[in-house]
Amino acid sequence: MEEAAPNYFLIIGGVLFVMLNVAAALIWVERRLLALFQDRYGPNRAGPLGLFIVAADSIKLFFKQDWIPPFADKPVFILAPAIVVVTVLMSFVVIPFAPGVIVADLNIGLLFFLAMSSMGAYSIILGGWASNNKYSLLGAMRGAAQMISYEVFMGLSLMGVVLLSSSFSLVEIVEAQRGLWFFIPQIVGFVIFFIAGIAETHRLPFDIPEAESELVAGFHSEYSGMKFGMFFIGEYMGITLISCMIVTLYFGGWLGPDFLPPVVWFILKTAFFLMIFILLRASMPRPRYDQLMEYGWKILLPLTLLNLLVTAAVVLWVNE
C-alpha cells in the first residue's frame, strides 16, 4: 500500500467534495447532453451555458416542502434515501483516482464495492415499502428482483479481471493493466459488467423500478423535497461510481500517455463513460420487466459463466 497517510483527511474531504459536486453537476450535464442528442438546446438561460441551473435546482430541492405521507412508515421512510447515498459514497472509498489518491486501498476492494452496491438495493426496497403505496411497492419489488438478478453476474463478470490480475485490490488491478487494458482480453466481461452496471444504478434502459410511464415514479413516488433529492443524487453518484469502476477495471484507471497527469486521465475516461450512460438514456427504449429478467438469467448469466471458464482456462494454459 502506498504511503498516503499524511494528507488522509484531505483525500477523504476531496473525494467527498468532488463526488457530491459531480453528482450536482450531472444534473446540468445530463440535461444539456440529452438536449444535444434530441436536437434541442437544454437549459441555456441561467448563467453561462445554463450552468446556474445546478444551483437553482438544488435550492429548489432544499426549499420544497418535505412532506411525509400520514400513511407512511415514518422512520423507514426517512432512512431509505440516506442508505442509497451512504452506500454509493462508501463504494468510492476503494476507487483509486490516481497513484496515492485513494481513501483506503483495501485488499478486498472489489468485494467491498460489490457488497456496498448490493446494500443499495435496500434503499429501494425500504423506500418503496415505507411509502405504503401500491405503485411504490411494485417499483420496489421490481427493483429488488432486478438488482438481485443483475448482482449475480455483475460479480461473476468481474472475476475475469481478478483472474488476470490475481488480486482483489483495485490499485493492483490498475497496475496489472500497464501492458494491456483489460477490456481487450475481457471484452465480454466488460460488456456484461456495463449492462449489469446500468441495471444496478437503475438507469434509463433499465429503469424498471421507476418506470414513470407505468408506475408514476415507482419507489420514490411519495418522496418530495430533499428526500427525493437524495435518491436523485444517489442515482447520479451511482452512475459516476459505475463509470469509475469500468475505468478502473477495464480501461486502465489512471494509466495513460505521460503528457497528462494520471488523475486527468482518470477523469477523462470517467467522463466518457458518463456520456455513454446519458447517450444510452437518449437512445434506448425500456424493456418489459419479464424481458429484462429473461435477458439477465437466460443470456447474460450463461455468457458470464462461459467467459469466466474461458478466462480461467487461458490463464491456466498461459501459466503452465
Partner 1 sequence: MFSLLRSMWLTFLHAFHKRETILYPEEKPILPTRWRGRIVLTRDPDGGERCVACNLCAVACPVDCIALQATEDDAGRRYPDFFRINFSRCIFCGYCEDACPTYAIQLIPDFEMGEYNRQNLVYEKKDLLINSEGKYPGYNYYKVAGMAIGGKGKGEAENEAPPVDIKSLIP
By C-beta, is 284 or 310 nearer to partner 1? 284
Q: Count of CB atoms within 10 A of residue 5's CB?
A: 8
Give the Cα separation of 139 and 116 in Å (integer). 21
Q: Is 275 exposed, middle or buried (0-12, 13-18, 19+ CB in 10 A)?
A: middle
Burial class (CB in 10 A: 0-12, 13-18, 19+), 200: buried
Residue placing its CB nearer to partner 1 in the complex, 115 or 280? 280
List the one residue out of 89, 109, 113 whose CA is nearest residue 175.
109
Instruction: Determine contact, residues 102/94, Cβ cutoff 8 Å.
Output: yes
Size of the site for partner 1 (CB under 8 A): 12
Q: Which stretch binds partner 1 (CB under 8 A): 4-12, 34-42, 300-308, 310-318?
A: 34-42
188 binds partner 1 (CB under 8 A): no
Residue 25 or residue 188: which is nearer to partner 1 going by CB? 188
Q: Quick check: 48 binds partner 1 (CB under 8 A)? A: no
Q: Which three cell numbers stand for residue 221?
A: 413516488
Closest contact distance (angstroms) between CB of 99 and partner 1 is 33
Q: How far is the CB of 279 from partner 1 (least distance, A)?
A: 6
**Least gap, CB of 284 to partner 1 (angstroms):** 7
E-assigned strand segments in 145-228: none
CA nearest to 105, candidates 94, 89, 116, 92? 94
Q: Is 40 in the site for partner 1 (CB under 8 A)?
A: yes
Near partner 1 in 241-300, by CB under 8 A: 279-280, 282-284
* Rounded CA separation 244/113 (Å): 11
Examine residue 76 and tell whether it contacts partner 1 (CB under 8 A). no
- Round to whole Å and give the CA distance between 255 and 277: 22
Nearer to partner 1, 44 or 118 (CB): 44
Between 1 and 284, whose beta carbon lies closer to partner 1? 284
Judged by CB, which is closer to partner 1: 111, or 275? 275
The footprint of partner 1 (CB under 8 A) covers 36-41, 44, 279-280, 282-284
